[in-house]
Amino acid sequence: MTPRLWYRWISARMYGAAQRPLVRPWALSSPILVLLICLPLLRPLRHPDPRQMGEQELGRVAMIQSFAEHGTAAIEQSTYQPLVQRRMVNGHIYSTQPPMQSLLMAGPYQIMRRLGLTLEDNSTLVLYLLTLFGITLPAALSAGLIYRMGRLFELRRQLRACLGAVVVLAGGLLSYGVAINGAAPAGTLLLASAACLTHLISVPRPKRAAAWLAVSGMLAALAGTVEPAALIFLPLFALVMLFMRWGWRMRAGGLGLYLLGALPPLFLNATLVLPMGGSWLPQQPSLVELSGPVSAQAVFYDEEDVPTRSVWLDMGSYIGRTLETLLGAHGLLSHYPMIILGLIGMSAILHRHWPGSIKMLAGATLLGGIWIILSLAQRDSERGELGFAQPQFSLFVPLSLFWIGAWLRKGHRPVSWVLAGLLLGVSLTLSVIGASDPMPRDGYGGYSAATALRQWINPALPGDLPLARNP
């Protein structure tokens, strides 16, 4: 190219960059709305007493402090000690929570320590900042991700901004975006992984954007290391590559890039978990670890007197627990009825003439949600483990609500809009109530939304459980 052509090319580029807006108000509107709602509800602000922290949050905070101050996952020297959800391995005490999130959040805490803020001297401010940067900000930014992903449905900017706000505020990210936990950041990471895939589906030159496949695999694997229940989406999202409108060589190469990006988080998680007595693959803690050792008198039977249980009784019990997971006191539809519109949107994607990759992504969302529901039905959770609804719902409900965009593409009767408004109103109200205290110290025994509202009106005093170092 001659100097004159170079000058014209650079001038055109600079003119185009100058014409593009630096700030998109509609893209920022939903994240700002989420922050305005969440900031006054953060748990360290509403419940500053550490004795009101749940066992899961205690375990994660203890590992954050241990990683930053002692360079180890062992928590025996930490100020914060979970009383039940911990185990001893090779003479060291470890929390039963996955360590990956605590390792990532130890970086911001290390910066705070250099600035003179420590958990021992100013625990309320440090926990507030950790919750803000590690949980709340990612949940708010996921609304911006939905705004970007909404281009898939060719919606107006206003509708995309509303869709982003609905996904966060009515999908569980608001309820669990105010306390240190693994469900909210894992749900955000899954949304980011799906955003990379939707970008590749719509990009005109996929070869130049192939690196997004590795980023998508890394984010999906990282979500599985933060919250093990999210690991089911790693192979499901991999199937999307097989339905891309590419040649077979590009599909195979894309699948290889996706799996290559997933290896570093899984390898790092294995190096953290294996010394703690865990498995190289992320997995949920066992019920013995969650509820503590069970002391019971041993009962011995002769071989002929071993009690047997009918297969039909087991099947009926499992079906009953599944229905309770859907409609019970901690059920999916009891707290997030807005997911009905998400299911309608997914059915529209699967039945109409959409590209196979988009159908597979919607199918992966549906299959992952069903898997998590069936897995929760298998577990007989203890009361102290139960938070607002189920934390694992926050993994697939936001991604399910994203598919409401397919429902918004078409016109609807006033009755449909009224019903949708009722579902949205109920979901928003329950999410805000849940944000008051999503993970109380003793868990929720009954209907968690009603109990959370009762505790919001009449706050309970801190319990008498100690929070002391181990000798």
CA distances from 217 to 157, 163, 250 (A): 29, 25, 16
Cα–Cα distance measured from residue 388 to residue 275, given in angstroms and rounded to the nearest whole number? 32
At residue 94, the 3 state secondary structure works out as strand
Alpha helices (runs of H) in 203-331, residue ranges in sequence order: 211-226, 233-238, 248-273, 287-291, 311-327
The b-or-e profile of 91-129 (16+ CB within 10 A means b, else e) is ebbbbbbbbbbbbbbbebbeebbeeeebbeeebeebbbb
Alpha helices (runs of H) in 115-210, residue ranges in sequence order: 123-131, 137-149, 157-169, 183-202
* Rg of the Cα atoms in the chain: 24
pLDDT, tens digit, for every residue of 124-157? 999 999 999 999 999 999 999 999 999 889 889 9
Q: Which of 227, 319, 329, 336 is nearest to 282 (CA)?
A: 227
Secondary structure tally for the chain: helices H, strands E? 21, 2
Point out the least confidently predicted range of 186-195, 269-278, 452-461.
Answer: 452-461
Greatest mean pLDDT among 2-11, 137-146, 245-254: 137-146
Angle of helix 137-149 versus helix 183-202 axis, rounded to 10: 20
Distance of CA 36 to the CA centre of its chain: 20
Per-residue model confidence (pLDDT) at position 80: 86
DSSP characters for 416-467? HHHHHHHHHHHHHHHHHHHTT-SS-TT---S-HHHHHHHHHHSPPPP-S---
Per-residue model confidence (pLDDT) at position 2: 64
Per-residue model confidence (pLDDT) at position 470: 39
Distance of CA 9 to the CA centre of its chain: 44
CB of 61 closer than 8 Å to CB of 53: yes
CB of 266 closer than 8 Å to CB of 221: yes
- Which is more confident, 6 or 449? 449
Q: Average model confidence (pLDDT) for the chain? A: 83
pLDDT, tens digit, for every residue of 374-410? 998 887 554 445 788 889 999 999 999 999 999 998 8
Dmax over CA atoms of the chain, in Å, equals: 96
Per-residue model confidence (pLDDT) at position 120: 87
Q: Which of 341, 365, 355 is nearest to 416 (CA)?
A: 341
Average pLDDT for 29-47: 91
226's tokens = 């933060």
Contacts of 456 (CB under 8 A, 6+ apart): 433, 436, 437
Average pLDDT for 3-8: 64
pLDDT, tens digit, for every residue of 17-28? 445 555 578 888
154's tokens = 């060719």
Q: Which of 89, 87, 96, 88 is nearest to 54 (CA)?
A: 96
At residue 128, the 3 state secondary structure works out as helix
Cα–Cα distance measured from residue 236 to residue 360, given in angstroms and rounded to the nearest whole number? 8
Point out the least confidently predicted range of 131-140, 298-307, 334-343.
Answer: 298-307
At residue 18, the 3 state secondary structure works out as helix
Distance of CA 455 to the CA centre of its chain: 25
Please calculate the CA angle 333-137-401 and round it to the nearest 5 degrees: 30
CB of 369 closer than 8 Å to CB of 363: no
At residue 228, the 3 state secondary structure works out as helix
pLDDT, tens digit, for every residue of 65-108? 999 998 988 888 888 888 888 888 888 888 889 999 999 999 99
Cα–Cα distance measured from residue 405 to residue 345, given in angstroms and rounded to the nearest whole number? 7
